């Protein structure tokens, strides 16, 4: 599975470098910032796995082979979207590192500090917002260039516009909930947030992109949509696990950042709905605190282990994986190898450590 996505990444990366080099010439007409932001975006994207871009090719190959260059171009557009979302996400979460390097907005903050600008932090965040916006605009430009029938192109643009509005709305909810330590939410609320904040745009959207390019029928596209949601929920739950139990060098950002932001994930839900809630209540003050020590994070880890929360979440993931596997096997795919790749992706999602 990793080999497959590595091959897809090579093709998408090659195309993106060529495209962004061209945009450097266009944007530097305004100022050197234009060239600089393209270089930053290129470096930022190159450090990612480009799974979303690779999923476009996989979605196409389920129904038609060989996969055309248009799949890589559409995949590149989604990688630009992903980069824009991450750049903005780091600003909202005040994360100074991403993919083992300074986050984009913090790079600009450092530059502003170096040049002794007033309100350097605000300048860094503002320039980061602009950089994220540029990613979105370039993504739409890429889609407009793809050589496919107009009906297919309009379908792709409509899909991406819809999903971006959904993920932005879910992000608003995530930020709002994160600022309220005592906000009461249900497990269903959290799973819905996972679906729209991560699941659909990470898996459903690229898989549907590929299927639309292959001009698959509506039933198969709808099935892929649901498969993507399930894969995405599993992916997000795994992300939550890595944020709490992972290694900073491997995941590329500080461990415990979700706790600092007061994120309402399944770990949070089970922790404060456990039978021993009164015993754990003292931990409530740790959430949403900017100053969380390694000792406090380890304290939460210990409670999660001893309370059986990990077992509950593992069971939930197992149930979701079972549903996803059934749907993959009912998919009316014409290529058996691509169907197996989708099953392999499910397995990788369950076992990933980064």
Banded pLDDT at 334 (limits 50, 70, 90): confident
Banded pLDDT at 183 (limits 50, 70, 90): low
List b or e across 191-230, with b for residues whose CB sees 16 or more CB atoms inside 10 angstroms.
Answer: bbbbbbbbbbbbbbbbbbbbbbbbebeeebbebbbebbbb
Q: Is it the case that residue 229 has pLDDT exceeding 80? A: yes
Q: Is it the case that residue 256 has pLDDT exceeding 80? A: no
DSSP class of 97: E
Look at residues 330, 259, 349 and name the one whose alpha carbon lies nearest to residue 62.
330
Instruction: State residue 208's pLDDT score.
Output: 98
Mean pLDDT across 249-268? 75
> How many other CB atoms sit within 10 Å of the CB of residue 128?
23
Give the separation between CA 108 and CA 123, rounded to whole angstroms: 7
Bridge partner residues of 101 (DSSP):
98
Domains of the chain, residue spans: 2-351
Instruction: State residue 340's pLDDT score.
Output: 95
Give the separation between CA 32 and CA 119, rounded to whole angstroms: 21
Q: What does the mean pLDDT of the chain come to? A: 91
Give the separation between CA 151 and CA 174, rounded to whole angstroms: 35
Mean pLDDT across 102-111? 97
Q: Is it the case that residue 204 has pLDDT exceeding 80? A: yes
- CATH node for 2-351: 1.10.600.10
Mean pLDDT across 175-202? 87
């Amino acid at each position: 599975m990793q080999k497959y996505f590595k091959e897809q990444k090579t093709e998408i990366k090659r195309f993106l470098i060529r495209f962004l080099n061209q945009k450097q010439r266009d944007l530097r007409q305004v100022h050197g910032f234009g060239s600089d932001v393209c270089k930053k975006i290129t470096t930022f994207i190159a450090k990612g796995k480009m799974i979303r871009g690779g999923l476009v090719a996989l979605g196409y190959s389920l129904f038609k082979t060989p996969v055309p260059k248009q799949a890589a171009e559409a995949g590149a557009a989604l990688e630009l979207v992903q980069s824009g979302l991450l750049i903005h996400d780091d600003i909202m979460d005040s994360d100074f590192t991403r993919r083992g390097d300074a986050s984009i907005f913090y790079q600009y903050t450092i530059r502003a500090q170096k040049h002794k600008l007033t309100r350097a932090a605000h300048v860094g965040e503002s320039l980061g917002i602009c950089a994220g916006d540029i990613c979105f605009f370039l993504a739409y430009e890429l889609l407009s260039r793809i050589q496919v029938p107009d009906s297919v192109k309009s379908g792709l643009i409509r899909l991406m516009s819809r999903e971006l509005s959904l993920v932005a709305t879910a992000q608003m909810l995530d930020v709002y909930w994160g600022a309220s330590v005592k906000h009461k939410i249900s497990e269903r609320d959290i799973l819905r947030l996972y679906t729209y904040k991560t699941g659909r745009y990470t898996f459903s959207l690229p898989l549907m992109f590929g299927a639309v390019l292959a001009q698959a029928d509506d039933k198969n596209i709808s099935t892929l949509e649901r498969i993507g949601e399930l894969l995405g929920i599993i992916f997000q739950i795994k992300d939550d696990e890595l944020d709490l139990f992972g290694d900073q060098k491997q995941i590329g950002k500080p461990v415990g950042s979700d706790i600092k932001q007061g994120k309402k994930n399944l770990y949070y839900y089970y922790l404060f709905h456990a039978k021993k809630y009164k015993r754990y209540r003292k931990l409530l003050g740790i959430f949403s605190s900017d100053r969380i020590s390694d000792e406090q994070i380890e304290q939460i880890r210990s409670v999660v282990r001893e309370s059986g929360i990990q077992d509950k979440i593992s069971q939930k993931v197992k149930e979701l994986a079972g549903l996803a596997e059934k749907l993959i096997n009912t998919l009316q795919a014409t290529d058996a190898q691509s169907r197996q790749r989708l099953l392999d992706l499910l397995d990788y999602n369950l076992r990933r450590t980064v």
